[in-house]
Structure 1
Amino acid sequence: MIRRMCLLIIGLISLGLAIIGIIVPLIPTTPLLLLAATCFVRCSDRLYEWLITQKHLGPYIKNYREGKGIPLSAKITGVILLWTSMLFTIFFVVPLIAVKLILAGVAAFFTWYILKQKTLI
């Protein structure tokens, strides 16, 4: 019972963060949805079925499971939003050069990660 409740809570938190990640480029949507699906499959068949058949979230999981990749439009949008938010933060928010360099490195890493994924056609 306690295990099931913990999995449910972790799944719901992951799902919430994944939904936020659709809008905020630095939060990885697909891994969080996969974590939520993994938790739900172990604690609630109803939530798992809802998640994988949900109109907007289900395709993330299905495309990943089937190895189809990321749509080109999502790659372009993700990279543009990533760099827009990072450059704004680097030039207008963060005063420390070391932190600016770390942020640029994080942006470069996630850009590489997004672009190396298979493109869904």
Structure 2
Amino acid sequence: MKRPLYFVCGLIFTGLGIVGAFVPLMPTTVFLILAAGCFTHSSPKLEAWLLNHARFGPTLRAWRENGAIPRKAKAMACAGMAGGYGLFYALARPGLVLALGVGAAIAACAAFVVSRPSAAGPQ
């Protein structure tokens, strides 16, 4: 029962990752990391396809092997988070408590991204 569920989730995450490659402020890599994890438990063929993909494979392998995020991806992720927060603040006009709560959550996510190793090997 788990294998079909992992397979469907892997397909959904792959679809979201593909959409994220074309839609600004929507993440790509995080969905593909989740997809690869799901395919590990359901479809070794699709897992291998993702890990060997010319564009996304190196980033997925670096994450899997070392928890590494390339510097450029870190910069883009943090810029996307800042842009997303800016849009949220400008369009939602939140109260102080909500603005600080959302800002703290985004700052925690950015801190996690920045704290990951930048290269596949030792630094």
* Normalised-by-shorter TM-score class: 0.7 to 0.9
Distance 1:84 1:42, change over 3 A: closer
* Offset, 1:91: 3.0
Counterpart of 1:82 in structure 2: which amino acid? Answer: M
- Quote how far apart the aligned CAs of 1:83 are: 0.7
Q: Which moved more, 1:40-49 or 1:12-21?
A: 12-21
> Tell me, which stretches of 5 or more residues in structure 1 are unaligned?
none
After TM superposition, the score normalised by the length of structure 2 is 0.77
Distance 1:101 1:68, change over 3 A: closer
CA contact (8 A) 2:18 2:28 kept: no
- Quote how far apart the aligned CAs of 1:68 are: 6.5
Residues 70-85 of structure 1 mapped to structure 2, 5 A cutoff: 70-85=69-84
What is residue 10 of structure 1 aligned with on the other side?
Answer: 9
Deviation at 1:41, TM superposition (A): 2.6
Match runs of 1:1-121 below 5 Å: 2-21=1-20, 25=25, 27=27, 29-30=29-30, 32-67=31-66, 69-120=68-119
Unaligned runs of 5+ in 2: none
Letter in 1 for 2:108: F
Helix, strand or coil for the counterpart of 1:70? coil
Q: Is the 8 A contact 1:8 1:40 kept in 2?
A: yes
Identity of aligned residues (%): 25
Number of paired residues? 119
TM-score (norm 1): 0.78
2-side partners of 1:116 and 1:15: how far apart? 26
